[in-house]
């Protein structure tokens, strides 16, 4: 016999219970797992059923069958197609047949124009974002990353506004020997007392637009007719200084960052239940509207549904002090323990 094929390490993006699987050849041989689990795939000989064991259960006698990537992908695209068809049928029950509506919907989507600024460039991602086609996530290949003093993973805080994400960032940055923000770029003129490269990197509007097109910014926006943004290079400069870069970003900004070699660690700062959120606002003496609280919770749910696979950790911010210590403990462990990170295919 030849050598054993290499083990494939993957993170699962769906829950799996062989007991509920009509297709598995033998239920007793199935391996259950949950979204987020790391699995070690030891055989991919069968196109539909892989053999794997769960991270931490190194005893390979615990290996079992899991659906292969292609099998699971097929199954989920089928589900999506059926759900889409049903949705259309319900929406258009009285007027059109499901098939013709499906075609109309597709045509409409293609025609929809992207909003551009006066120069014809796409603006800040959040303002021009189109609903993406639903993405099917099955497994993602991961590799083990060992902490390095020369590369501390940037910490990205994500979440709805007004639940303490900025306070958390400020708390971390209080330890300025250890944490730092990336110096933003701006196209506005420098003000009295501002130091280039410290307060901002000051560049022309023209240069800013060229840099946007060159995908140099992780995020950017416009404020009072000037551009502002955070560049990959500015984040890299913090990493190279040996500090931990702390960023507050929108989930849409994760794409460029994750495609870089910076290996961000992403934390969703999520609200507690409506009741606890209300109590928290009352305790803090902050005025609030019931509608706002519901909006915050809905935003967090939406973020988790759409981008949940990108989050390394979720912190429920019921009490900012507690959330801060939880976050700090996690950051400390990142400097000690190896972590499974997304394997980049462009390297």
Identity of the residue, 53 or 200, whose beta carbon is nearer to ligand 5GP in the bound complex: 200
Q: Least separation, in Å, of the C-beta of 313 and ligand 5GP?
A: 23
> Does residue 343 touch ligand 5GP according to CB under 6 A?
no
Q: Least separation, in Å, of the C-beta of 51 and ligand 5GP?
A: 47
> Does residue 184 touch ligand 5GP according to CB under 6 A?
yes
Nearest to 253 by CA among 211, 219, 286, 280: 219
> Which whole-number Å values give the CA distances from 279 to 145, 159, 282, 292, 294, in the listed order?
40, 19, 5, 14, 14
Identity of the residue, 200 or 265, whose beta carbon is nearer to ligand 5GP in the bound complex: 200
Structure tokens at 168: 């958390």
Q: Least separation, in Å, of the C-beta of 199 and ligand 5GP?
A: 7
Site string for ligand 5GP, 209-238 (x = CB under 6 A): ----------xxx-x----xxx--------
Rounded distance, CA 212 to CA 209, Å?
Answer: 5
Structure tokens at 224: 């009072």
Site string for ligand 5GP, 321-340 (x = CB under 6 A): --------------------
Rounded distance, CA 176 to CA 211, Å?
Answer: 29
Identity of the residue, 152 or 220, whose beta carbon is nearer to ligand 5GP in the bound complex: 220
Q: Least separation, in Å, of the C-beta of 252 and ligand 5GP?
A: 12
Number of residues that bind ligand 5GP (CB under 6 A): 9
Rounded distance, CA 168 to CA 161, Å?
Answer: 12
Q: Rounded to an integer, what is the distance from CA 340 to the centroid of its chain?
A: 15
Residue tagged 């849409």 (tokens): 252
> Does residue 122 touch ligand 5GP according to CB under 6 A?
no
Rounded distance, CA 210 to CA 227, Å?
Answer: 12
Residue tagged 């696979």 (tokens): 309
Q: Least separation, in Å, of the C-beta of 328 and ligand 5GP?
A: 24
Q: Least separation, in Å, of the C-beta of 218 and ligand 5GP?
A: 9
- Geometric angle at alpha carbon 160, from 295 and 226, rounded to 5°: 115
- Write out the residues near ligand 5GP by the rule CB under 6 A: 184, 188, 219-221, 223, 228-230
């Amino acid at each position: 016999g030849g050598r054993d094929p290499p083990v494939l390490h993957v993170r699962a993006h769906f829950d799996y219970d062989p007991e509920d699987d009509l297709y598995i050849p033998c239920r007793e041989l199935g391996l259950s797992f949950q979204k987020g689990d790391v699995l070690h795939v030891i055989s991919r000989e069968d196109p539909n059923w892989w053999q794997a064991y769960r991270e931490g259960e190194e005893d390979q006698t615990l290996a079992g069958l899991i659906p292969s990537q292609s099998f699971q992908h097929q199954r989920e695209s089928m589900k999506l197609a059926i759900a889409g068809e049903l949705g259309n049928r319900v929406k258009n029950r009285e007027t059109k047949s499901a098939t013709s509506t499906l075609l109309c919907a597709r045509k409409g989507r293609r025609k929809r124009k992207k909003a551009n600024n006066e120069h014809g460039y796409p603006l800040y991602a959040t303002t021009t974002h189109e609903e993406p086609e639903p993405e099917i996530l099955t497994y993602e290949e991961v590799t083990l990353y060992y902490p390095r003093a020369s590369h501390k993973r940037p910490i990205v805080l994500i979440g709805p506004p007004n639940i303490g994400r900025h306070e958390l960032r400020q708390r971390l940055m209080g330890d300025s020997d250890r944490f730092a923000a990336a110096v933003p770029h701006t196209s506005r003129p420098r003000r009295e007392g501002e130091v280039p490269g410290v307060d901002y990197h000051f560049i022309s509007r023209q240069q800013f637009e060229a840099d946007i097109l060159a995908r140099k910014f992780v995020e950017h926006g416009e404020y009072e007719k000037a551009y502002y943004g955070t560049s990959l290079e500015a984040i890299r400069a913090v990493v190279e200084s040996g500090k931990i870069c702390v960023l507050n970003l929108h989930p849409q900004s994760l794409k460029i960052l994750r495609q870089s070699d910076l290996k961000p660690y992403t934390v969703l700062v999520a609200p507690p239940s409506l009741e606890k959120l209300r109590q928290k606002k009352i305790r803090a003496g902050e005025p609030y509207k019931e509608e706002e609280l519901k909006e915050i919770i809905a935003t967090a749910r939406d973020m988790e549904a759409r981008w949940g696979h990108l989050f390394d950790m979720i912190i429920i911010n019921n009490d900012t002090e507690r959330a801060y210590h939880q976050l700090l403990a996690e950051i400390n462990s990142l400097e000690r323990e190896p972590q499974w990170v997304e394997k980049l295919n462009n390297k």
